Amino acid sequence: MAAVGTFTHAHRYVPATDASRPPLLLLHGTGGDENDLISHGRTLAPDAALLSPRGNVLEGGMPRFFRRLSEGVFDEADVRRRADDLADFVAESRRAYGLAAPIAVGFSNGANIAAATLLLRPEALAGAVLLRAMSPLRETPAADLTGKPVLILSGALDPIVPAENVARLADSLSRAGADVDHRVLPAGHALTHQDVDAPRAWLERRVAIEA
């Protein structure tokens, strides 16, 4: 298991034991770091390569992937800049580690930057699992996401993510051509066992379809 801090993002990289499996790009929530989702990623895809960067923005000492003005109100100029940074990091990592385009698995702030990257730099990602995501941009940029699979898991009791906001995100991705599966779980903002079971089964189906 490698720990690397010389790229544009400090990160951890775990090589694949089955190179045919799509790599996962693990994107933590506010206050997390490059270690947070390693065990989650290993459970979702035991044989896949894992690439887990740390967000480069600090809010009260807590790492994030982009700035916000208040809870639920994003600095959209910074969202765009950081999505570009993340896409460049993915390209850099693919060259360094010999990876295919990854499927992002993001939680909360990590899910939001994954969604922004899909919309702004769609070539960077092969798809995404968005856990408790919000729409990162008020105006949806033109993007061609034809055929890219996206699983969105939102919480019916989530006090942070308004239902209409995540529905707008799902609609924006669908209209851009993504193959969107949006499920509302009986959960709040925190992750539950369903956030392991559903993505694991979803990823297995994607691998079977592409085999």
Active-site positions read 108, 158, 189
Q: Are 67 and 109 in contact (CB under 8 A)?
A: no
DSSP string, 125-144: -SEEEEES-----SSPPP--
b/e map of 53-73 (b: 16 or more CB within 10 Å)? Answer: bbbbbeeeeebbbbbbeeeee
SS (H, E, C) 44-105: HCCCCCEEEECCCEEECCEEECCCEEECCEECHHHHHHHHHHHHHHHHHHHHHHCCCCCEEE
Cα separation, 149 vs 129, in Å, equals 9
Structure tokens at 35: 């270690």
